[in-house]
A = this chain, B = another copy of it.
Amino acid sequence: MSRFAIGVDLGGTNLRVAAINENGGLFDQVNLLTEVEKGREDVVDRLSSGILQLVERWKNVYQLAGIGVGIPGIIRMKEGVLVASPNLPGWENFNIRAQIARRLNSPFYLENDANAAALGEKWIGSGKNCDHLCFLTMGTGIGGGLILNGRIWHGVAGMAAELGHVTIYPDGRPCKCGSQGCLEAYAAASAVVIAAQEFLKAGTASPALREAAASGKPLTSALIHQLARQGDASSIAVFQQVGKALGIAIANFTNIFDIDVFVLGGGAVDAWDAFEKSMFEEVPKRSYVFRNDPRRILKSHLGNQAGIFGAAYLAFQNLAP
């Protein structure tokens, strides 16, 4: 009887539960809305029901290998407590592991969503066959995941790989984390908008950017990316900032870890063409490890499904001999 695992990806907007086999084949998926406003108990109810629904549906066809749940935010791994989660307001110090366990009545793996996505990319994505991988997910914020020796690196308290909050510019923009000059403040989708607004405020924005801002349409990173592709100088400069900040971060990670492959995921990676040049210029300049031995920097292969695959793989990985 072949095996399957359940992978869950809980996001600020979407809650997805999937049944996945050992070869990385996803054969059933339940897509729900998170609806945070209904309260955390309610969200955990739906999450657990989604899992139980898929388990019931398939447990007589395949053998259940296990369940993995990826959630956004910093988790104290020993206790299973969410320390902080920008996407789940009001969930601070919530013992999510205990809450899910109470409903499932069976063991499961709890994991940070970016860590899970990193593991997914290592399993069947851009980092396939790599033992050491660094994953950055570029959305509204920037999350990170580290795979060392084929496994997620958690650190002492499970709070490792907060890669969006390494300092790039010590005197730079304020960051939601309370620090300033963080990678997130320079390379997240929100940073793209802020950088464009800085040009507008300073009066140095190009005509096309000024026009877009005046049009009444909300200034989004997607719109600024579109302007950059049309040759708008300010928008191009905005993404050069993004690429430079990413390049500095990746160079630092290379000097620190000497790692195989970097994988960039999340919605903001759609603007790859606009930031790749400055990113690839910056890394060798900043890292003589990289100059001696260039490493791969790749786009995510699994996109927004990376986390769900990684969550499922937690179960398979821990069963492996």
B258 and A159: CB pair below 8 A? Answer: yes
The closest CB in chain B to the CB of A292 belongs to B83
- Segment 142-173 of A: residues with Cβ below 8 Å from B: 144, 146, 148, 153-163, 165-170
Bound: A289/B260 CA distance, A: 26
Interfacial chain B residues near A109, Cβ < 8 Å:
none
- Segment 85-144 of A: residues with Cβ below 8 Å from B: 132, 144
Known: A132-B156, A157-B293. A252 touches B167 (CB 8 A): yes
Bound: A180/B74 CA distance, A: 33
Known: A165-B288, A248-B170, A293-B157. A256 touches B259 (CB 8 A): no
A283 to chain B, nearest CB (A): 11
A179 is an interface residue with CB less than 8 A from chain B = yes
The closest CB in chain B to the CB of A177 belongs to B288
Interfacial chain B residues near A289, Cβ < 8 Å:
74, 157, 159-160, 162
A199 is an interface residue with CB less than 8 A from chain B = no
A168 and B170: CB pair below 8 A? Answer: yes
Bound: A288/B154 CA distance, A: 16
A84 is an interface residue with CB less than 8 A from chain B = yes
A259 and B132: CB pair below 8 A? Answer: no
A159 to chain B, nearest CB (A): 5
Known: A148-B148, A170-B169, A288-B84. A155 touches B257 (CB 8 A): yes
Bound: A83/B204 CA distance, A: 46
The closest CB in chain B to the CB of A163 belongs to B256
B179 and A286: CB pair below 8 A? Answer: yes
A184 to chain B, nearest CB (A): 11
Bound: A228/B256 CA distance, A: 32
Question: Which of B144, B156, B248 is in CB contact (< 8 Å) with A167?
Answer: B248
Interfacial chain B residues near A148, Cβ < 8 Å:
148, 153
Question: Which of B155, B160, B244, B259 is in CB contact (< 8 Å) with A156?
Answer: B259
Interfacial chain B residues near A177, Cβ < 8 Å:
288
Bound: A280/B162 CA distance, A: 20
A178 is an interface residue with CB less than 8 A from chain B = yes
A246 is an interface residue with CB less than 8 A from chain B = no
A287 is an interface residue with CB less than 8 A from chain B = yes
Interfacial chain B residues near A315, Cβ < 8 Å:
none
A58 is an interface residue with CB less than 8 A from chain B = no
Question: Which of B84, B132, B157 is in CB contact (< 8 Å) with A258?
Answer: B157
